[in-house]
Chain A
Amino acid sequence: MNRFAELLDRLVLTPSRNGKLTLLTDYFRSVEDPDRGLALAAITGDLSIAAVKPAMLRALVVERMDPVLFGYSYDYVGDLAETVSLVWPQAPGNIPNHAPTLAEVVGKLQAASRSDGPKVLARLLDSASISARFAIIKLVTGGLRIGVSARLAKQALADLGQVDVTEIEELWHGLTPPYTSLFAWLEGKAGKPERTALALFSPVMLANPVGDGDLEKLDPADYAAEWKWDGIRVQAVCEGGIRRLYSRTGDDVSGAFPDLAAAMDFSAALDGELLVGDPREATGTFSDLQQRLNRKSVSSKIQQQYPAFMRCYDALHIGGEDLRALPLRERRDRLEAFIGTLDPSRFDLSPLVEFPDWQALEELRQAPPHPIIEGVMLKRWDSPYLAGRPKGPWFKWKRDPHTVDAVLMYAQRGHGKRSSFYSDYTFGVWSGPEGAEELVPVGKAYFGFTDEELKQIDKYVRDNTVERFGPVRSVRADRDNGLVLEVAFEGLNRSTRHKSGVAMRFPRISRLRWDKPAAEADRIETLQALLD
């Protein structure tokens, strides 16, 4: 338990991806079964433990200490799990012979009935160290929130076993905690686990961006073109009555889209884009789609308002037959025939875009017919369906990004190599009536500039600081003073969380406009016009 607790403590404060991977692989290498597998399940969200409500936790602790002192403590710390882990009094004379293992803790929590759950939790907290108490409380209150995605955990497993992460993704849904067969394989002590479960995920095929001069070497006749839909890539798999909707990285997202899952009454594995709307009538925008994202459960009202459908562009399996080795042209034919048998309000075909030459396609790319199209996809007609991102058969050719000229408002210090640089920038645009303009923050970006530019901005921030709050500096920014940043972004969403009412997607610094006076930066109306 203590090693798991230490891992959580380190992960939550380690910002870099590589740092996290090192911590995870070291943990998986040094910790034995079944603890490491249970830790993995906790991180990927595959560990089921009956939840304890925060109110119950609070009740447990005030039975054990003065409520006034608890109140002072909670006010100071601000986080209930952390406060309880710190103030929990050591039970007198209750020093266990050994620190409990993660398996013992999980075992006791899983065996607890609803009524004796709090008592079991209290006994576990009595015998644990401060860090371990925090980890136990995180396990029972649900959601570790340590900044590690299931995908990252799988990458750490891949690093451990020196295998490709797609191999892990392919196996994942057939495995259950504590994943002993998986670890045995990764450590070379046993063969690869068999894929025996139904409706498993198949690693998806990904495209490379079109680079300078790439197209000149290619013959347009070799390629099919489709619109690039700005939805979520999904894989719909039905086999032997099991239905699963997977994300691009193999996470099961069926629960968030029950309406679509209900229409999956077929035997196939289809690749496509999840969008909202009715494909026969209208496709929703990205803002519409957002209403369905990042939800654990979804109300019937939202389902009705924003019905999910799948725009299909590839078929991996149909009727038990594996089509992945076939060329795209044949897979496409099979897909077209198959889509006709499905519910047309939930499934349609991503249309092909006809183009005589690259120039014609370029024009289409720049002026797509629907706001949720973010470019075109190019796929070689003779390409088989390959896992990963092979160079050559598939290309994505995105619409050029939007840009806006904004003024630097706040800068925050970075981490690791950038820990002495102000490298995270919050920028704003002008709003308000003429003569009384003020800057309203519209986004934050921390890349897009060169190392040399970083040094220049850092110097600018240090020389023009007006206020400091911890690692953040407020930078002089008014009509006469300020650094103008050209910010590129992929799209704009409405946001109720931001004062400006807009949230940028994928913002990055595209140019430093040392030459441009702050007063000439863009106004909020320019951005509002981009909202659909």
Chain B
Amino acid sequence: MRASDLLKPRPEGLYCPPGDFFIDPVRPVARALITHGHSDHARSGHGSVLATRQTLDIMALRYGEDFAGATQAAVLGETIDLNGVSVSFHPAGHVLGSAQIAVEHRGMRIVASGDYKRQKDATCQPFEPIPCDIFITEATFGLPVFRHPPDTEEIVRLLKSAAQFPERSHLIGAYALGKAQRVMRLLRDCGYDRPIYIHGALAKLSEYYQSQGIDLGQLDPATVDSGGKDDFAGAIVVGPPAAFADRWARRFPDPISCFASGWMRIRQRAKQGGVELPLIISDHADWDELTATIKETGAAEIWVTHGREEALVRWCELEGIAARPLHLVGYEDEGD
């Protein structure tokens, strides 16, 4: 059979005709397999959803218990049969609960990796390379300029700045699912033991992470009730990036705006966003991780999606690996 008979792009998302299911569909469908809980991959309103227990929990937290007609929890590494197509979920190392989905039929195996990274992350299970015929890779940071430094180096810089400017507060913009909790956990791993103040949008998910055994230490709401301006002097505050441009941020004394993202590798990106302390911490694979992973899977063909497809396709060509961009619509190019 041809690979495109097993998985093919459709306006709703990546579709498997023999199995009759979609992977990460962007519109409501009868049966969806979902790699992880970020809102551009995990939408509400599907007939049934198959995902890891944690991804299902996260979707319920975000959309309410009735986010889908029916749900089924996939256990990592276990094979499930869907209309004769074998499907299995494997850790992707992106955020808590994230998984790659391997689809196998008549001797052909395609792995849809969803979003993934290879850097160690204490808040989720590490990526496992799955041997396959075709590997579908993301390309959010698919350019040789993206090279993420070790995340602890970034946290050390943050703590140094906090010591240098004890009268100011440090506001860290970080996405509410995954990045925020990873930053908090990294702070704890680097010995920061003061309370971390969080924006309300982070509360439910952070609580969920804690309930899953990921210790984030003491998190206090960054509300005006919990203190006057002076009480936030020297504080580290984590919130969604948009909140810092908002009036919400006025409660903090002379804040230093920080942003935890792989995009912070590019100075102009930081400058344009008014970021004073960029923290290059990403939940996506950087260039070196992407290229190493492609080799590790041993896949003869690579499909490249959301991001800078052309550079990764070019790299595959130079390495003698067949590759093509997979034009899927509806995913946030800016995701990180």
Is B147's CB within 8 Å of the partner chain A?
A: yes
Cβ 8 A contact of A413, one of B274, B276, B278: B274
A33 to B15, CA, bound (A): 64
User: A86 — which chain B residues lie within 8 A by C-beta?
Assistant: 144-147, 265
User: B295 — which chain A residues lie within 8 A by C-beta?
Assistant: none
User: B266 — which chain A residues lie within 8 A by C-beta?
Assistant: 76-77, 82
User: B255 — which chain A residues lie within 8 A by C-beta?
Assistant: 416-417, 419
Is A208's CB within 8 Å of the partner chain B?
A: no
Extra 15 A-B pairs, beta carbons < 8 Å, given A77-B145, A82-B266? A9-B267, A10-B277, A12-B267, A12-B271, A13-B276, A13-B277, A19-B256, A26-B164, A69-B144, A73-B311, A86-B144, A86-B146, A86-B265, A419-B255, A420-B249
Is A23's CB within 8 Å of the partner chain B?
A: yes
Q: Closest CB-CB distance, B152 to chain A, in whole Å?
A: 15
Question: Is there contact, CB below 8 Å, between A69 and B311?
Answer: yes
Question: Is there contact, CB below 8 Å, between A76 and B165?
Answer: no
Is B270's CB within 8 Å of the partner chain A?
A: yes
Cβ 8 A contact of B278, one of A13, A26, A470, A471: A13
Name, among B144, B249, B255, B276, the residue most crowded by chain A CB atoms within 10 Å (CB to CB).
B144
Interface string of B126-154 (1 = CB under 8 A from A): 00000000000000000111110100000
Q: Closest CB-CB distance, B118 to chain A, in whole Å?
A: 17
Is B330's CB within 8 Å of the partner chain A?
A: no
User: A69 — which chain B residues lie within 8 A by C-beta?
Assistant: 143-144, 311, 314-315
A348 to B168, CA, bound (A): 52
Minimal Cβ-Cβ distance residue in B for A6: B157
Is A83's CB within 8 Å of the partner chain B?
A: yes
Interface string of A484-509 (1 = CB under 8 A from B): 00000000000000000000000000
Question: Is there contact, CB below 8 Å, between A72 and B310?
Answer: yes
Question: Is there contact, CB below 8 Å, between A23 and B164?
Answer: yes
Is A14's CB within 8 Å of the partner chain B?
A: yes
Is B120's CB within 8 Å of the partner chain A?
A: no
Question: Is there contact, CB below 8 Å, between A416 and B256?
Answer: yes
Contact A13-B267, Cβ < 8 Å, known A26-B164, A87-B144: yes
By a beta-carbon cutoff of 8 Å, the part of chain A in contact with chain B is 6, 9-10, 12-15, 19, 22-23, 26, 65-66, 68-70, 72-73, 76-79, 82-83, 86-87, 130, 413, 415-417, 419-421, 470-471
A421 to B161, CA, bound (A): 23
Question: Is there contact, CB below 8 Å, between B276 and A22?
Answer: no
A70 to B311, CA, bound (A): 9
Is B247's CB within 8 Å of the partner chain A?
A: yes
Question: Is there contact, CB below 8 Å, between B276 and A14?
Answer: yes
Q: List 10 A-B contacts (CB under 8 A).
A: A9-B267, A14-B276, A65-B144, A79-B267, A79-B268, A87-B144, A416-B276, A417-B254, A419-B274, A420-B245
Question: Is there contact, CB below 8 Å, between B314 and A72?
Answer: yes
User: A82 — which chain B residues lie within 8 A by C-beta?
Assistant: 266-267
A72 to B317, CA, bound (A): 15
Number of chain B residues whose Cβ lies closer than 8 Å to a Cβ of chain A: 42
User: A73 — which chain B residues lie within 8 A by C-beta?
Assistant: 143-145, 311
Is B290's CB within 8 Å of the partner chain A?
A: no
Question: Is there contact, CB below 8 Å, between B272 and A470?
Answer: yes
Cβ 8 A contact of B164, one of A22, A72, A76, A77: A22
A23 to B161, CA, bound (A): 9
User: B273 — which chain A residues lie within 8 A by C-beta?
Assistant: 470-471
User: B311 — which chain A residues lie within 8 A by C-beta?
Assistant: 69, 72-73
A424 to B248, CA, bound (A): 19
Contact A471-B145, Cβ < 8 Å, known A416-B255, A417-B254, A420-B245: no
A12 to B266, CA, bound (A): 13
A413 to B146, CA, bound (A): 28
Question: Is there contact, CB below 8 Å, between A415 and B147?
Answer: no
A317 to B10, CA, bound (A): 84
Q: Closest CB-CB distance, A214 to chain B, in whole Å?
A: 33
Question: Is there contact, CB below 8 Å, between A471 and B268?
Answer: no
By a beta-carbon cutoff of 8 Å, the part of chain B in contact with chain A is 143-147, 149, 157, 161, 164-165, 168, 244-250, 253-257, 265-268, 270-278, 308, 310-311, 314-315, 318
A14 to B273, CA, bound (A): 13
Minimal Cβ-Cβ distance residue in B for A130: B147
Minimal Cβ-Cβ distance residue in B for A421: B250
User: A78 — which chain B residues lie within 8 A by C-beta?
Assistant: 268
A155 to B166, CA, bound (A): 21
Question: Is there contact, CB below 8 Å, between A471 and B165?
Answer: no
Nearest first, the 10 closest Cβ-Cβ pairs linking A and B are: A86-B145, A420-B249, A87-B144, A72-B311, A73-B145, A417-B254, A470-B272, A416-B254, A471-B274, A13-B276
User: A471 — which chain B residues lie within 8 A by C-beta?
Assistant: 245, 272-274
Q: Closest CB-CB distance, B309 to chain A, in whole Å?
A: 11
Minimal Cβ-Cβ distance residue in B for A70: B144
Minimal Cβ-Cβ distance residue in A for B243: A420
Question: Is there contact, CB below 8 Å, between A72 and B245?
Answer: no
A70 to B273, CA, bound (A): 25
Q: Closest CB-CB distance, A477 to chain B, in whole Å?
A: 21
Question: Is there contact, CB below 8 Å, between A72 and B267?
Answer: no
Minimal Cβ-Cβ distance residue in B for A75: B143
User: B318 — which chain A residues lie within 8 A by C-beta?
Assistant: 66
Q: Closest CB-CB distance, B187 to chain A, in whole Å?
A: 19
Q: Closest CB-CB distance, B162 to chain A, in whole Å?
A: 13
Q: Closest CB-CB distance, A528 to chain B, in whole Å?
A: 33
Minimal Cβ-Cβ distance residue in A for B256: A416
Question: Is there contact, CB below 8 Å, between A66 and B314?
Answer: yes
Minimal Cβ-Cβ distance residue in B for A469: B272
Q: Closest CB-CB distance, A6 to chain B, in whole Å?
A: 7
Q: Closest CB-CB distance, B267 to chain A, in whole Å?
A: 6
User: A68 — which chain B residues lie within 8 A by C-beta?
Assistant: 314
A417 to B169, CA, bound (A): 10
Question: Is there contact, CB below 8 Å, between A419 and B143?
Answer: no
Q: Closest CB-CB distance, A48 to chain B, in whole Å?
A: 26
User: B277 — which chain A residues lie within 8 A by C-beta?
Assistant: 10, 13
Contact A415-B274, Cβ < 8 Å, known A19-B165, A66-B314, A72-B310: yes
Contact A72-B143, Cβ < 8 Å, known A12-B267, A77-B268, A416-B254: yes
User: A19 — which chain B residues lie within 8 A by C-beta?
Assistant: 165, 256, 276
Minimal Cβ-Cβ distance residue in B for A22: B164
Name, among A9, A68, A417, A419, the residue most crowded by chain B CB atoms within 10 Å (CB to CB).
A419
User: A72 — which chain B residues lie within 8 A by C-beta?
Assistant: 143-144, 308, 310-311, 314
Q: Closest CB-CB distance, B273 to chain A, in whole Å?
A: 6
A227 to B272, CA, bound (A): 43
Minimal Cβ-Cβ distance residue in B for A84: B145
Minimal Cβ-Cβ distance residue in A for B144: A87
User: B272 — which chain A residues lie within 8 A by C-beta?
Assistant: 470-471
User: A14 — which chain B residues lie within 8 A by C-beta?
Assistant: 276
Q: Closest CB-CB distance, A507 to chain B, in whole Å?
A: 22
A72 to B143, CA, bound (A): 7
A332 to B247, CA, bound (A): 57
User: B310 — which chain A residues lie within 8 A by C-beta?
Assistant: 72
Question: Is there contact, CB below 8 Å, between A130 and B149?
Answer: yes
Question: Is there contact, CB below 8 Å, between A13 and B254?
Answer: no
A290 to B86, CA, bound (A): 75
Cβ 8 A contact of B245, one of A9, A22, A77, A413: A413
Question: Is there contact, CB below 8 Å, between A83 and B145?
Answer: yes
Q: Closest CB-CB distance, B143 to chain A, in whole Å?
A: 5
Question: Is there contact, CB below 8 Å, between A420 and B143?
Answer: no
Q: Closest CB-CB distance, A84 to chain B, in whole Å?
A: 10
Q: Closest CB-CB distance, B316 to chain A, in whole Å?
A: 11
A421 to B274, CA, bound (A): 12
Minimal Cβ-Cβ distance residue in B for A87: B144
